[in-house]
C-alpha cells in the first residue's frame, strides 16, 4: 500500500513539474515583453521594470527562481492589478468557488447515485426510461446552455431567484443546478450499469437463497458494490466542475476564481494566468491522486502493482 501511494505520488509530482515547466516556457515563448503595449517608456524605466521583475536575467536563472518561488507559494505580482499578489487574488476568490464546487459535488453524488439506483431497480420500467433520458440530456446539453436557460426561466420569467449575484443561500440554487447537471448524469449512468451487473451476480443469488432479507441484500451487497465505479469518477468530476464553474461564474456574475481566470486570459495577465493554471493543475492532480487511493481502499480486489491495467 505504501509503495502504491508513493508511486502515485511520485507520478503526480512529475506531471506537476511538467505542467509548471510547460507553463513557464510557453509564457516565455510569447513574443515581446509584458510592458510593450503601454505607451512609449524611456529605456531606463523599461530596464528598471525588467530588473524589478527579474526579466533581465538569462532564462534559466528566471526558471529556477520561478521554481523556487512556486515551491514557497509565491506566484509573483499580477501584471494588470498592480500591487496585488497573484497568490492573494487566488486565495480571496477561491472561497466562493470552493463553496459552489463542493455543494455541486455533494449534490451530484447524492442525486446521481439515487437516480442510478432507482433506474437499476426499476430496470426497463418507466422510472428507468425517464432517468436515462434525463441522463442523456444532462450529458449532451452543454452547461452554459443549461445555465442560460434556467437563468432565463427561473430568474427572469418566474422571478424565483436572483438573476445575478451571489449573496443569500437561495442564490446558490441556479448555479449549483447548472454545475451539477452533467456530473449527475454521468454518475447516474455509472451507478445504473454497475448496479445492474451486481444485481445479476451469483453472490446476490446466494444471499437470496440463504434467505437474507431484501434490505440487508441491498445495503450490504448491492449498493456497496454498485457504487464502486462512482469512485473512479471523482477525478473527472472535479475537472468537470472546475471547467464548468469558469463558465457558470461568468454567467451568474459570481466573483470566484473562474471569473478571475477568464479575466486574466482576456487581459493577457501572464503572471495571473500562470498562477491560476498551476493552482487548477494542483487541484486536479490532487483529485486524481485521491481517486486512485480511495479506489484501492474501497475495492480490495485491485492488485497493488503500481497502476491499473488497460
Partner 1 sequence: MAANETTFTSVSAELTPEDFRKIGVDEKQAEIIQRESISAWKDAWQRLSKNKLAMASLVVLLLIVLAAIFGPMFAHFDSSTNDLLNTNQPPSKEHWFGTDDLGRDMFVRTWMGTRISLIVGLAAALIDLLIGVIYGGIMGYFGGRVDAIMNKFSEVLYSIPYMLVTILLLVVFEPSIGTIILALTITGWINMSWIVRGEIMQLKNREFVLASRSMGAGSGRLLFRHLLPNAVGPIIVTLTLSVPNAIFSEAFLSFLGLGVQAPRASLGSMINDALTGWMYYPWRMLFPAIIISLTMLAFNIFGDGLRDALDPKLK
Given the rule CB under 8 A, which residues bind partner 1?
11-12, 14-15, 18-19, 22-23, 26-27, 29-30, 136-137, 139-142, 144-145, 148-149, 152, 156, 163, 193, 196-197, 239, 243, 246-247, 250-251, 261-262, 265-266, 268, 273, 277, 280-281, 284-285, 288, 307, 310
Q: Name, in order, each residue with C-beta under 8 angstroms of 57's C-beta and a sequence gap of 6 or more.
A: 65
Question: Minimum CB separation from partner 1 for residue 211, in Å?
Answer: 29
**Neighbouring residues of 102: CB distance < 8 A, sequence distance ≥ 6:** none
Task: Give 303's Cβ-side CA count (13 Å radius).
Answer: 3
Residue among 14 and 297 whose Cβ is closer to partner 1: 14
* Dihedral angle over CA of 258, 175, 141, 182, nearest 10: 80
Cell of 32: 515581446
- Do residues 93 and 229 make contact, with C-beta atoms less than 8 angstroms apart? no
Select 13 or 45, whichever has its Cβ closest to partner 1. Answer: 13
Cβ-based nearer residue to partner 1, 212 or 255: 255
Nearer to partner 1, 37 or 83 (CB): 37
Nearer to partner 1 among residue 227 and residue 260 (C-beta) = 260
Q: How far is the CB of 48 from partner 1 (least distance, A)?
A: 27
In the complex, least distance from residue 305 CB atom to partner 1, rounded to whole angstroms: 12
CA-to-CA dists, residue 182 to 173, 177, 188, 254, angstroms: 15, 10, 10, 20
Neighbouring residues of 239: CB distance < 8 A, sequence distance ≥ 6: 284, 287
Amino acid at each position: 500500500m505504501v509503495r502504491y501511494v508513493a508511486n502515485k505520488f511520485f507520478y503526480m509530482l512529475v506531471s506537476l513539474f511538467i505542467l509548471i515547466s510547460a507553463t513557464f516556457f510557453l509564457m516565455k515563448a510569447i513574443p515581446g515583453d509584458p510592458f510593450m503595449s503601454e505607451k512609449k517608456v524611456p529605456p531606463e524605466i523599461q530596464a528598471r521594470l525588467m530588473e524589478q521583475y527579474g526579466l533581465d536575467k538569462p532564462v534559466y536563472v528566471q526558471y529556477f527562481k520561478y521554481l523556487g518561488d512556486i515551491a514557497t507559494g509565491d506566484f509573483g505580482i499580477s501584471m494588470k492589478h498592480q500591487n496585488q499578489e497573484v497568490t492573494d487574488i487566488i486565495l480571496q476568490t477561491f472561497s466562493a468557488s470552493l463553496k459552489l464546487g463542493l455543494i455541486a459535488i455533494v449534490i451530484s453524488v447524492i442525486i446521481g447515485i439515487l437516480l442510478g439506483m432507482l433506474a437499476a431497480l426499476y430496470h426497463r420500467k418507466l422510472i428507468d426510461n425517464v432517468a436515462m433520458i434525463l441522463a442523456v440530456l444532462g450529458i449532451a446539453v452543454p452547461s452554459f446552455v443549461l445555465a442560460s436557460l434556467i437563468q432565463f426561466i427561473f430568474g427572469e420569467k418566474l422571478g424565483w431567484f436572483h438573476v445575478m449575484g451571489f449573496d443569500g443561500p437561495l442564490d446558490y440554487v441556479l448555479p449549483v443546478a447548472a454545475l451539477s447537471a452533467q456530473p449527475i448524469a454521468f454518475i447516474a449512468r455509472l451507478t445504473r450499469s454497475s448496479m445492474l451487473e451486481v444485481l445479476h451476480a451469483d453472490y446476490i443469488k446466494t444471499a437470496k437463497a440463504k434467505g437474507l432479507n431484501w434490505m440487508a441484500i441491498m445495503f450490504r451487497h448491492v449498493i456497496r458494490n454498485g457504487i464502486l465505479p462512482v469512485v473512479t469518477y471523482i477525478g473527472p468530476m472535479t475537472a468537470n466542475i472546475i471547467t464548468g464553474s469558469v463558465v457558470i461564474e461568468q454567467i451568474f456574475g459570481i466573483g470566484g476564481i473562474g471569473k478571475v481566470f477568464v479575466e486574466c486570459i482576456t487581459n493577457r495577465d501572464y503572471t495571473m494566468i500562470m498562477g491560476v493554471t498551476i493552482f487548477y493543475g494542483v487541484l486536479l492532480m490532487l483529485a486524481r491522486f485521491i481517486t486512485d487511493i480511495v479506489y484501492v481502499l474501497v475495492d480490495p480486489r485491485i492488485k497493488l502493482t503500481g497502476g491499473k491495467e488497460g
